[in-house]
Amino acid sequence: METGDDVRRLLEEIRDVQREHLAEYKRVTHQFLELQQRAVGRQEQLSGVYKRIVLIGGALVAALLALLAYLLVRWAPYWLGR
């Protein structure tokens, strides 16, 4: 009967190790999901910042083009007349 007890003990050890692996897998998976959610949140924040920068940059370029057009129209007669 020692063989039966040895097999039973071995199977119990295998079961215990599998439970430990499952618990570790669940912990790591939970940690990974939290990190992924944080990364998505940061990505959304950066997307908002990027949109603001593009809007401000576009407005600045439009203002500079308008200023250039104004100066060309205002001062063109002086440059062309000379």
Is residue 75 scored above 90 in pLDDT? no
pLDDT tens profile 26-61:
999 999 999 999 999 999 999 999 999 999 999 999
Per-residue confidence (pLDDT) for residue 78, from 0 to 100:
80
Q: How many CB atoms lie within 10 A of CB 69?
A: 10
Residue with tokens 């205002």: 74
**For the chain, how big is the Rg over CA atoms in Å?**
35
Both structure tokens of 50? 């990027």
What is the model's pTM? 0.59
**Residue 82 has what pLDDT?**
61
**pLDDT tens string 2-12:** 788 899 999 99
